[in-house]
Structure 1
Amino acid sequence: MQPLFRLFLNPHCGFKVYTDGTKIEANANRYSFVWGKTIKKSRERISRQLEELWDYASKVAKDELGQPEEKFENPSPEKVRETVEKINAALEGKEVDPKVKQKLRYAGKNWPEKLAEYEQKEEVLQGRNSYSKTDQDATFMRMKEDHMKNGQLKPGYNLQLSTHGHFVVNYSIHQNANDINTLIPHLESYYNLYGTYPETLTADAGYGSEENYSALEKNGTKAYVKYNYFHKELREEGRKNRERGLLDNLHYDNIRDIYICPIGQPMERSGTRIRTTSSGYRQEYAKYTATKCAGCPLAASCKPMKDEKTIEVNRKLERYKSEAKKRLTSPQGLEKRKRRATDVEPVFGHLKQNKGMKRYMLRGLDKVDIETGLHLIAHNIAKMTALKAG
């Protein structure tokens, strides 16, 4: 469906795009949910109870069971079946607690079947936290259009749009409710459509992460993307230094790679911490430590532990945020921030309020993609017709 955009959009015009997302309800039963956390807890409960049964049998029939069994972490249906058979054989002829006998009968009859069911559900989830039984591609998300007005989770899809002059130049459908994880696949969708990346991209703070800034830089796209606390930082710029955060009051010596605290004590590099995101992106946090904090007059606000203060700094992310702030506060950045609210957001309003695109008619990711594409092509054609008529 996406290649049809090429019928009336110039793929070489160097789009300056405005990107945003919205949740659209799936054509699925609102209460037919499967939760990943529930499956995880059920697996853990079976593992724990299986180990308890083995420990009990080990005390009653130690000679029959032989060597201690390995840990029963995340057991397979075959493992459960095999273990229950071993316990039953070892306890045969022994005086056994009636409750344990009942538990063993239940475990042998139900647990292998339950674990097989959990495996099938986890295969459908594919890392998501939930899905609907009546549309297994849909994930439960919080919707702005909530008929019960209580923030209820409903099955839906995350629609991402990039626009240019109210024309939709790219769209992508996601099963992840968090916008921050949609930008990179959305950009790849754009590249597959046009063979190039957008010249500039403007988006709100929901997309401001190190991974996204890095991808935009790598693709040659100038990013006008906010980050968390961007507006708070602007409000606090006029305040006194003592009211700002600790990191804002530290001086960084780039040559010696140290921070200088407000009383002049150096905070030297003391280590590195690596954090890996859910998508596999590695973030590096440098640790800096001040070791002479005893008697410091700023200890009440700095709150050192054991006369030492350690901070963690993501140097790469700090650079990206500094560059983003410089762009966003420039005259061009101010204009783009204003235009984002009047370029991409009205398209969502038009689709939902005027065209009734609040709930999909079709089920399944592929069909939802086609339905969305038809809506957006119709929107672009109507926009072109109006421009020509005007």
Structure 2
Amino acid sequence: MNSRKKLYLSTSALLSEINSFFGYDYPLRDEYQSWDLFYVCQYLMEVMVQTDTQICYGIGHRKSSIQRYYDSLLKMALKLMEYEEWLYTLGNRNSCSKTDLDATFMATKWDYYNQSGVTRPCYNCQIAVSDGLIVNADIFQNPGDTLTWQAFMDRYHDYTGKYPCRPVADAGYGSLDNYLYNLKNGIELVQKYGNFGKKKDRRFQKRIYNVLNWKQTEEGFLICPEGRVLDQYEGDNISRTRGGNLHIS
């Protein structure tokens, strides 16, 4: 994404220079699409053909000004088209394997074959077991389990016509979106939340300056380790989760 933003800036600078040099009026934008640049390249090529401008490459040949602009802009257009193709392939993911476009790079556990800590192209396989029997299974492209919960439960509902009453899951599945989804579909909240294990860890409890270890007053105000009550209200921090729900903190 950062490389694409840099390309946008370089494109605006080049188009501004082309407008100034030739007196054109191509609009400058914060973002471009490849076809925008190919349109300008096509026009520059038509100008070179109409003016009998010699197009030359190689050592010992001097390019004309319009050809230099054409070559630079064409290079940017091809690079931007490459970004667009990869972003289309990725979809909602942030990575994929060049040898298996459906696989996503994930951080796997250290084992005999992986002792470097590097990510590898993988799939996230989910299996639900009840009384020793597999009752649901699916494969996902997300490296984390949080975004698999709702689709996994919907798959179970499609096969059985109902949602499970008390599906037990670890803290990797706990999120505001998933808790609201459970309440909406009559699923009991037996999932662990993100810091469930940490709050019971003695080493974590010794971190007195971590907000999760602060005590609260009867009104719900936090008390810092120095004994100060944080009762000054400066407004809510409102954001949206990945599922589009409002999160107020």
Normalising by the smaller structure, the TM-score range is: 0.7 to 0.9
- Structure 1 counterpart of 2:32: 75
Identity percentage of aligned residues: 27
Amino acid at match of 1:65: Y
Q: 1:199 aligns with which of 146, 160, 165?
A: 165
Distance 2:168 2:222 in 1: 35
Amino acid at match of 2:106: M
- Residue by residue over 1:74-121, the C-alpha shift from the partner in whole angstroms, topping out at 9 and shown as x without a partner, is 3122211234566786xx99xxxx797675233344333333333232
Question: Contact conserved, 2:41 with 2:74, CA < 8 A, in 1?
Answer: no
Q: 2:7 aligns with which of 46, 58, 63?
A: 46
In the TM superposition, what are the counterparts of 1:24-43 in structure 2 within 5 Å?
40-43=1-4
Counterparts in 2 of 1:80 and 1:244: CA distance versus 1, 3 Å: closer
- Structure 2 counterpart of 1:111: 76
1:243 partnered with 2:208: yes
TM-score, normalised by the number of residues in structure 1: 0.51
- Structure 2 counterpart of 1:137: 102
Counterparts in 2 of 1:133 and 1:168: CA distance versus 1, 3 Å: same
Distance 2:223 2:2 in 1: 46
- Structure 2 counterpart of 1:24: none
Counterparts in 2 of 1:81 and 1:266: CA distance versus 1, 3 Å: closer
Counterparts in 2 of 1:103 and 1:213: CA distance versus 1, 3 Å: farther
Q: 1:65 aligns with which of 21, 24, 40?
A: 24
- Residue by residue over 1:248-298, the C-alpha shift from the partner in whole angstroms, topping out at 9 and shown as x without a partner, is 3231527xxxx375767572543222222233333222xxxxxxxxxxxxx
SS of the equivalent of 2:135 reads strand
SS of the equivalent of 2:248 reads strand
Distance 2:123 2:194 in 1: 24
Amino acid at match of 1:104: Y
SS of the equivalent of 2:172 reads helix
1:213 partnered with 2:179: yes
SS of the equivalent of 1:79 reads helix
Amino acid at match of 2:14: L
Question: Contact conserved, 2:163 with 2:187, CA < 8 A, in 1?
Answer: yes
Give the superposition deviation at 1:198: 1.3
Counterparts in 2 of 1:266 and 1:123: CA distance versus 1, 3 Å: closer
Give the stretch that moved more between structures: 78-87 or 201-210.
78-87
Give the superposition deviation at 1:150: 1.0
TM-score, normalised by the number of residues in structure 2: 0.75
Question: Contact conserved, 2:37 with 2:74, CA < 8 A, in 1?
Answer: no
Question: Contact conserved, 1:46 with 1:111, CA < 8 A, in 2?
Answer: yes
- Residue by residue over 1:147-166, the C-alpha shift from the partner in whole angstroms, topping out at 9 and shown as x without a partner, is 24212322221011111122
Structure number with higher strand proportion: 1
- Residue by residue over 1:290-328, the C-alpha shift from the partner in whole angstroms, topping out at 9 and shown as x without a partner, is xxxxxxxxxxxxxxxxxxxxxxxxxxxxxxxxxxxxxxx
Unaligned runs of 5+ in 1: 1-39, 286-390
Give the superposition deviation at 1:232: 2.6
Unaligned runs of 5+ in 2: 54-62
Amino acid at match of 1:112: A
SS of the equivalent of 2:139 reads strand
1:273 partnered with 2:231: no
Give the superposition deviation at 1:130: 1.9
Question: Contact conserved, 1:57 with 1:87, CA < 8 A, in 2?
Answer: no
Give the superposition deviation at 1:169: 0.9
- Structure 1 counterpart of 2:124: 158
- Residue by residue over 1:21-77, the C-alpha shift from the partner in whole angstroms, topping out at 9 and shown as x without a partner, is xxxxxxxxxxxxxxxxxxx3443233222112123345545xx235x7332x33122
Q: Which has the higher contact order (CA 8 A, sep 6+)?
A: 1
Amino acid at match of 2:236: T
Distance 2:115 2:65 in 1: 47
Structure number with higher helix proportion: 1
Amino acid at match of 1:171: A
- Structure 2 counterpart of 1:284: 248
Give the superposition deviation at 1:220: 2.1
- Structure 2 counterpart of 1:305: none
In the TM superposition, what are the counterparts of 1:1-390 in structure 2 within 5 Å?
40-61=1-22, 64-66=23-25, 69-71=27-29, 73-84=30-41, 104-144=69-109, 147-235=113-201, 243=208, 245-246=210-211, 248-253=214-219, 259=221, 261=223, 267-285=231-249
